[in-house]
Amino acid sequence: MQRRLDEIRFGTGPKPATDAFRQIDEKLAADNAVGRVFRGKAKVIDFTGRNRPVESTIGPIVQPGTLDGEVMQVGGRDETINVHIKAGDEFHRCITTKAIARRLAQHIFGAPVRVRGTGTWSRVESGGWKVHRFDIESFETLDKIPLSKTFEGLRTRLQPPEGGRANPVDMLQQLREER
């Protein structure tokens, strides 16, 4: 019990416990209250509730950006076509032209893509950014090669010569020539 309370206090607890802490704190804030957990006379956890700092909201901001993910759906009935991109656990509903949608449809449920365009973003209370609208202007297919394999390949190609040190300028030149 004490270990779990310490984990929550220091922000290292398991997700269900930290979610419960956050929910209690939010309910206290909604009731204009605060709370504390004591063990004997020692305060173990402090629920800031109404006293927690209020984050300033930012946005909406319209600016160029990119989204990476898997194409899950492409469709529409007029000149603007909806494209659904799955990025991790999030789904982004984007809009594009028929021409780009035709090319994106070839990648549905396939390799991940990076879409470029103009998005409307706002900052949420947790500090992350939320996409409200994203107009796709172009895209590129991304490799499915894991990052660990990419670095392994780089290490193999850029090993220093036998018994010597690698010349960084030569290494950069070699990488540029491989493109």
C-alpha to C-alpha distance for 57 and 26, rounded to whole angstroms: 17
pTM value > 0.85:
no
Count of structural domains, the chain: 2
- Residue 64, domain extent: 58-141
Evaluate whether residue 8 is within a structural domain.
yes
Evaluate whether residue 163 is within a structural domain.
no
Residues facing 43 on adjacent strands = 38
Structure tokens that stand for 3 in this block:
């270990």
Nearest Cα residue to 71 out of 54, 57, 91, 89: 91
Evaluate whether residue 64 is within a structural domain.
yes
Q: What would the pLDDT profile of 80-107 be if each residue is shown by its tens digit?
A: 899 999 988 889 999 999 999 999 999 9
Q: What would the pLDDT profile of 126-138 be if each residue is shown by its tens digit?
A: 677 888 999 999 9
CATH number for 64: 2.40.50.140
Residue 35: CA atoms inside 13 Å, Cβ hemisphere, count?
15
